[in-house]
Structure formats: structure tokens, C-alpha cells
Structure 1
Amino acid sequence: MPPFIVHFAHYHEDFRLAELDALSLLENIQISYDRSKYSPDSPIFLIDIENSEQAEKLVRRAILIRSISEYWGSGHSYDDLFTEVKKRPERWDAYKQCSFKFTVDSFGKSLTQEQKIEIIERFSFLGFMGPIRMKNAEQEFFVFEDYGESDKPVPNQQARMIWFGRVIGRGSRDLVDRFDVKKRTYLGNTTMDAELSLLMANQALARPGSLVYDPFVGTGSFLLTCSHFGACSVGSDIDGRQIRGTAGFRRNVDGIRANLAQYNLGSRVLDTAVFDICRNPWRPGALFDAIVTDPPYGVRAGAKRLGRRNGTVPENSFRIVDGVTNYKRSDYYPPTVPYEMSDVISDLMEFAAEKLVVGGRLVYWLPTVAEEYDPRDVPVHPVLKLVANSEQPFGGWSRRLITMEKIDRFRGDANGDELSRCGSGDSHHDPAHKNFRDRYFSKFEPIDNEAAQTG
């Protein structure tokens, strides 16, 4: 298979290959690459694809890919680059009469317009005779100088690599601006960044004909992005106030419905509902092609579940007062108790193991204390396979985007002895996300385990 140049956006470097793999599955395109040659310090990466048509299809909905180009050559200097390009002169002939343009870009050093023009003129040996068109050119050629990442660039430094190719297709980074939360009609304090919401939709393989569910829907960011890519979506939350907004469902002035109207996605978002995920109304068995969610960490919004602090069961909601069942009263809210983060994740895993179809994906955020993270912290289940684990650091803590795929049918109690254990199967290991809210507000002070045990 011929090589192609992938030009990544220089954001979320730990997420790039996970999205690339997801896109190859979505588009049913075979790709190959050497993972050992990937560097987060460079936006350029070589992959092999069967042909240009498949390369264009591969990146058309990519969020972290700017463009993909047919590889024509590379080198540590322009002399080295030109030597390689001149080995295939037959490749130039097909484009000699086409309208064309050159795009010159760089990483780690800024190039002036004069420098870019000088670079373009050095490619005159290609003999292109067609008109130059900066807009709507039939062919676009890509020159990229990679100087590496540096806090203090040296003015006359040598590029560590120069790349050249014919642009085949571009990603969908324009969607980051379209779904920008600053332009959103309705926001909440937990609304997810647009770029990451779109990325998660790709990780979830959201597509026409698929059904996506968010059990902690909040203001509905994932409903928007997954439905944009053609999926039907549904969401729920234990607190309906963020779903409804201040005006409730009477007008589309705020709440999730306002955002659906803004993006014209009302026909794809099937509904939202209010209930505790631990006491959900879904029928038994597999229902969803993907579960995409950002579980509440207890930082900006506390996690809750039905219950009372004194231990009585929430079935008191069914008590009849003055002839009216409690839960039917307009002013009645079921009692809730705090929901510890490690319990949230364990319950989410068990729910996904049952409710996902085989081949379906669970995509969720896992907060963790950065210095204490251990791969064993990621829960496992016998019917769920870890596909990707990408980190977004925030200093003392980070969050990890976990992608899992259901690989076998859920068998209920047959799986019960291994539900949601830590990655190693060590049930005695305390993950770095346990009691995350308390750790966050204590500024991640280390825990004295010996004192905790004796105290």
C-alpha cells in the first residue's frame, strides 16, 4: 500500500491514533502504520492506505486531522527532498495542465510570506503549466517544514524534516467552530468542550442507523455531536433541571431542546428522561450501539443516586399522602445521596456490559489523581475490551478518555464475580479515582494509608 502524509492538528496529541483507528473502522478502510514512529512532538505521521479515494474517505469526518496528502518525498534538506521527488517524474505529468496551488506550512518556526514564495519557486522543476488558483484549484500541493517543538526557536535552525505531497482530503475541523460552546444557545457548568465532544462521537463510531445513549446527559453535548454524524441518540439524568432549563419544555428558549433547534437535530435526538441510572426503566438485554458519557466527578456537579442517608430505600416515593402517591406530586423530588466516583464507574461498566450490543462501544471520561494513576485503575469486565486510553492532563489531576468494545454476549450472573474489577483483577487495589471529589478539594494531598487503617 502506498504511503500518505497525515497532518494532525497540534492538539490532544495522546488522542490522535485512537481517533485514526476509529475512523478506519467507521469507513471500513484498511490502514497500516508503525506505531513506534509516532511522536506527539510532531504533527506529521506516515500511514499506508490502498489508494487516494480511500485516503480521502478516511479523514472526511476527522477532528484531529487537518489534511492527508499523497506522499511524494521527504528529506532533511531541500536537496534531499528534491532527489527523492525526481525519482518519480511520471507522477508529475498527470497534473501539468491542471490549475494548482501550493500550501507551505511549518511547525516550530514561523515562515514569512517571502520565504514561502521562495520555497514554492524552488519546485519549478515540476513543470506545472496550468493556472495558479488560490481558490478552487484542481490540485493542491503540500510543503511542510518540521523544526520540532521548542520554547526558544533558533532563527537559522535547520528543519529536522521537510515533507512534500499532493493533498487528497481534509478533516472536519470546521465542526469545532460550528459546535463551539461559546455559540451554543444553552450551556451548563458541565458542558463539554466541542472538540472533545466531536472526538468522542468518532470514538463511539456514531453513524447513521446507530443508537447512542448518554446516562449522565447534563446539557446534551454528546447528543448533539453523535446525532450530527447521523446517529439517533437518547439521554437521561437524575436531575432534570439541566435537561429542561429555566423555561422548562414550554418554549425552546433554553434547555436541551433549544440546542436541538439551533442545530436542527430534533429529529435525531429521540428523547431525554429523568431517572437514576441504577434504577433505570430500560428493558433487559442489549439496546445501544454506543454509550457516550462524562460521569459527574463531584467537582462542578456532584454525583447523586436515589436513597436516604439513614439507609431507608427510595421506595418511600410510593408512599400515599392525602390520597396522592408521593412521586405523582408536582412538588415532590425523590431523595438522593452522594454517589462515590469509583461506584459510578463500576455501575457504568456493569450497565454497559448488559445494554451494549456486541461490537458496541462505551466511551467515557475517567478522572484520576495524576501521580497515583496505575493502569489497574481502569475497570475491566469479561465482555468488554479496552480499545483506547488517552490522557488529558490538568496538572495535579487528569482525565482519561476510555474506549471499550463489547466482545461477547452478557450472561448476567455468569459474569458477576468479575464485574468492574480493576484492570489487573486485583479487587484490593484502590484506584486513583476513588473518593476523587475529596481528593480534588484537598489539593491531592497524599493519603497516609497506615493512619487511615489505624484511625
Structure 2
Amino acid sequence: MPLFIVQFAHYNEDFRLAELEALSALENIPISYDAQHYSASSPFLLITVASAADAAKLVRRAILIRSIIEHWGSGPSYADVFAQVKETPERWTEYQHVSFKFSVESFGWSLTQAQKIAVIESFSFMAFKGPIRMQNPEAEFFVAEQYEEDCKAECPPEHVWFGRVVGRGSRELIDKFDVKKRSYLGNTTMDAELSLVMANQALARPGALIYDPFVGTGSFLLTCSHFGALTLGSDIDGRQIRGTAGFRRNTSGISSNLEQYHLSDRVLDTLVFDICNNPWCRPSMFDAIVTDPPYGVRAGAKRLGRRTGTIPERSLRIIDGVENHKRPEYYPPTVPYEMSDVIEDLLEFAARMLVVGGRLVYWLPTVAGEYVPEDVPMHRALRLVANSEQPFGGWSRRLITMEKIAPHDERDAHVSGASHEPAHKNFRDRYFSKFEPTAAAQTSASDCD
């Protein structure tokens, strides 16, 4: 099969392959590559795809891929590249009379304009006769020089890549959905790049029904709906949905963002209830669940309830002729909701409510120095697809993608995880204690000494 060069953006490196695999599944385009040749420190990866048309389709909505290039040659020197190009002259003679341009890039070192021109002129043996057109050429040729990480002075490139650009990703969407441009946002609004990556991980597409059970200010409704999905969201705190919780810029809530991005017709509704006491009666309802559970860095997670188990009288009061629970500023009585319980309930909910083949995409916070892969909770009906880390020093959050592989069976409801205390247990308390080792972690460490 033909070889293609994937040019990744040099951001969120741990998420690249997960998104690439998700796009392969979404577009139903088989790919193959040698994972041993992938490096987070390099923006390039060779993959095989059936055709240039499939390659372009594969990356057309990618967020972490800048472009995909039909591989014509690569190697440690230009001599190696030239030799490979000359082995298949039928490739470049096809483009001798069309408009064209060369794009020259470097990674790990900066090339002067004169050096870039010299690189372009070194390919003069291809004898292109068409006009040079910098905007919208009929053919674009890509040259990249990759340098070693420790290159401190002028040195030869470690690797040279050359080929014809056949497709580009959709990184312009990051600017379109930039939170700084939104009418409404809150202090937990997810940044645009990762929101879009999550929509790809969830296989958001026309005809899919996608749900966010902790919708907050609605970031995932926007990005999943942009890709054509019908979306729903709910939250225990209706003030966030309505925009009456003191967030800046706009008090019209999520609806103002939907109007801004012309997505009102794709968001079916935003509802107020506790996911632990949800109204969904029909199982296997959603094609994907995409969410950022409340893990308590800015505010502790809550669920409906009262420590005594009764409803406070104040929630039943009538003020100025309006029942208290119907007032815009009303917030229901709640009790703390521990992070590990949130995740276990989320997995059980996903196992019941996803269609077979549907995906759960969620964030799992964890203490960086204590995390082990076994910390990720598992369910018998769900298969782990991807686990990508975004580090923040003493802690990190992991984007977990799971796929439902079997029908849910009430008799076999089961969530399993690590036999030890996972690194996301009591995360809020750990965060504010600056991640001091727990007694369990200290005992484990002493056992290893």
C-alpha cells in the first residue's frame, strides 16, 4: 500500500495516535504504521493508506494533524531523497505543466529564506514548467528537515522528508471555537483544542446522538454538534446552563453560544437533574457520552441529597408566590460526591445507556507520582480504547476513551479497577493537601525498599 507522511502539530503529543486511530474508525479507512517508529518528540510518522483520496479524507477533520503528504522520499540526506524520487519519475512528470509551489519547513532548527530557496532549487531536476502559485496551486510539494533535539549549532539534518501534500487537518477550528471568543463561558470551560479532539474520539458524526451528563457551560455540545451530531446535556446545577451563576460576559447561558455558532438546531435540549437520579428509562440510547466529570479542583462534586436523608424545608418554601425550586437562582440540596464514586457511576451509566459500539470519552484526574495503569476503572461491558495524559506537574488528567462491546446485563452490573486505592481516590482532598503521600502510598513505597 502507498506510504504517506503524517505531519502532526507539536501540541498535546500524547493524544496524537489516539485521535489518528479514532479518525481511521470514523472514516472506515484502514491504516497501518510501526508504533516503534513513533516519537512524541517528532512531528512525523509514516503510515500506509490505500490511496491519496483516502488519506485526504482520513485527516480532513483532524485537530492534531497539520497535513498528510504522499511519500516520495525520505532519509538521512538529500542524496537519499533524490535517489528515491528519481526511481519513480512517472510521479513528478505528471505535474510538470500544472501550477505548483514548494513548502519548506524545519523542525528543531530554523532555516533562513536563502536556505529555503536553495532547498527548492535542489529539486530543479524535476523540471517543472507550470507557473508558481503561492495561493491555491494545483500541486504543493513539501520538504521538511528534522534535526536532533540537542542540535545547538548549525548541523546537518537528522532526517529529510519529501512528498506531495494531499490533505490538511482542521486546526482552524481551534480558533473558531476559542473560548476567548465565546459569548458565554465559566471557570471550568474546556479549551477548544481538547474539546474538538474529544469529539473526534467520540466519533461525533451526522445521525449520532451524544450526551454530556455534566454539561456545565456546554463546550462538548458545541464541538460534537459542529461535526453533525445531535446532542443533549444535563447538570445538577441549572444555574450554569441558564447563565445565572455569575459567569462573565453573558447571562443567557449555553443558548447564547448555540446562537453564536448557529448550532441551536442540533442541540436537542439541556436538562437539570442529578445523573444519579436520571430520567432515562430506555437503555442503549446514546451513540456516545462525552464529559468532564466534576473532580473538585475549583468546586467539590455534588449529588442530590441531605446528610439526614430528608429534603430541607427551605426547598419547599414559596417566596413571592413562586415555589423555591422553580426560581432561576435555585440550587438543590446536595451532599459531597467522591471522585472515585463519580467515575464508577459514570461507567455503570455508560454500560447501560450506550449502544453497542458506542463510546464513552471522559477525563480522569490522577496524582502524577502515584498513578498506575490499573487505576483506570473497567467495566465488563466496556473496552479501553485510549488513555492519553495531560500533565500539570503534581497531578494530571487522563482522557479515557472506552467502547461498549456487549449489552448491559443488570444481573452482571460490575465496575472493576485496581485492587489498591487508585490515584484519583479523594482527589479533591489530595489536591488541596498538595498531593502529600497517603498512608497507603507510603506503605507501598516502603514495601518496595
- Is the TM value for this pair above 0.5? yes
Structure 1 counterpart of 2:32: 32
Matches within 5 A, 1:166-181: 166-181=164-179
* Residue 388 (structure 1) shift: 0.2
1:255 to 253, 256, 261: 253
Give deviations 1:322-366, integer Å, cap 9, x for gaps. Answer: 999874577754210111100000000000000000000000000
Matches within 5 A, 1:51-66: 51-66=51-66
**One-letter identity of the residue aligned with 1:187:** L
**One-letter identity of the residue aligned with 2:436:** E
* Residue 254 (structure 1) shift: 3.3
Change in 2 beyond 3 A, CA 1:56/1:253: same
In structure 2, what is the Cα distance between the partners aligned to 1:46 and 1:330?
55
Structure 2 counterpart of 1:232: 230
Give deviations 1:172-194, integer Å, cap 9, x for gaps. Answer: 00000110111111110000010
In structure 1, what is the Cα distance between the partners aligned to 2:50 and 2:202?
25
| TM-score (normalizing by structure 2) | 0.94
* Residue 321 (structure 1) shift: 8.0
In structure 2, what is the Cα distance between the partners aligned to 1:210 and 1:254?
27
Kept in 2: contact 1:100–1:138 (CA 8 A): yes
Structure 2: any 5+ residue segments left out of the alignment?
A: 444-449
Q: Secondary structure at the match of 2:133?
A: coil
* Residue 451 (structure 1) shift: 9.6
In structure 1, what is the Cα distance between the partners aligned to 2:125 and 2:333?
76
Q: Are residue 146 (structure 1) and residue 146 (structure 2) matched? A: yes
Structure 1: any 5+ residue segments left out of the alignment?
A: none
2:428 to 414, 437, 441: 437
**One-letter identity of the residue aligned with 1:137:** P
Q: Are residue 420 (structure 1) and residue 415 (structure 2) matched? A: yes
Change in 2 beyond 3 A, CA 1:19/1:247: closer
| TM-score (normalizing by structure 1) | 0.92
Kept in 2: contact 1:207–1:229 (CA 8 A): yes
Kept in 1: contact 2:312–2:333 (CA 8 A): no
Change in 2 beyond 3 A, CA 1:349/1:450: closer
**One-letter identity of the residue aligned with 2:351:** A
Give deviations 1:58-88, integer Å, cap 9, x for gaps. Answer: 0000000000010000111111211111111
In structure 1, what is the Cα distance between the partners aligned to 2:377 and 2:209?
24
Runs of at least 4 residues off by over 3 Å? 251-254, 313-333, 449-452
Structure 2 counterpart of 1:47: 47
Q: Secondary structure at the match of 1:31?
A: coil
**One-letter identity of the residue aligned with 1:6:** V
Kept in 2: contact 1:108–1:147 (CA 8 A): yes
Matches within 5 A, 1:152-167: 153-167=151-165
**One-letter identity of the residue aligned with 2:130:** G
1:361 to 359, 362, 366: 359
* Residue 91 (structure 1) shift: 1.1
Structure 1 counterpart of 2:194: 196
**One-letter identity of the residue aligned with 2:145:** E
Q: Secondary structure at the match of 2:174?
A: helix
**One-letter identity of the residue aligned with 2:426:** N
- Percent identity of the aligned residues? 69
Change in 2 beyond 3 A, CA 1:442/1:271: same
Equivalenced residue count is 440
In structure 2, what is the Cα distance between the partners aligned to 1:345 and 1:325?
33
Change in 2 beyond 3 A, CA 1:67/1:126: same
Q: Are residue 346 (structure 1) and residue 344 (structure 2) matched? A: yes
Kept in 2: contact 1:306–1:314 (CA 8 A): no
Kept in 2: contact 1:237–1:275 (CA 8 A): yes
* Residue 315 (structure 1) shift: 9.4
Structure 1 counterpart of 2:133: 133
Give deviations 1:255-294, integer Å, cap 9, x for gaps. Answer: 1011001100000011101110000011131110000000
Change in 2 beyond 3 A, CA 1:247/1:369: closer
Change in 2 beyond 3 A, CA 1:415/1:314: farther
Kept in 2: contact 1:107–1:149 (CA 8 A): no
In structure 2, what is the Cα distance between the partners aligned to 1:444 and 1:346?
22
Give deviations 1:115-138, integer Å, cap 9, x for gaps. Answer: 111100000001111000000100
In structure 1, what is the Cα distance between the partners aligned to 2:245 and 2:152?
57
In structure 1, what is the Cα distance between the partners aligned to 2:435 and 2:20?
34
Change in 2 beyond 3 A, CA 1:433/1:275: same
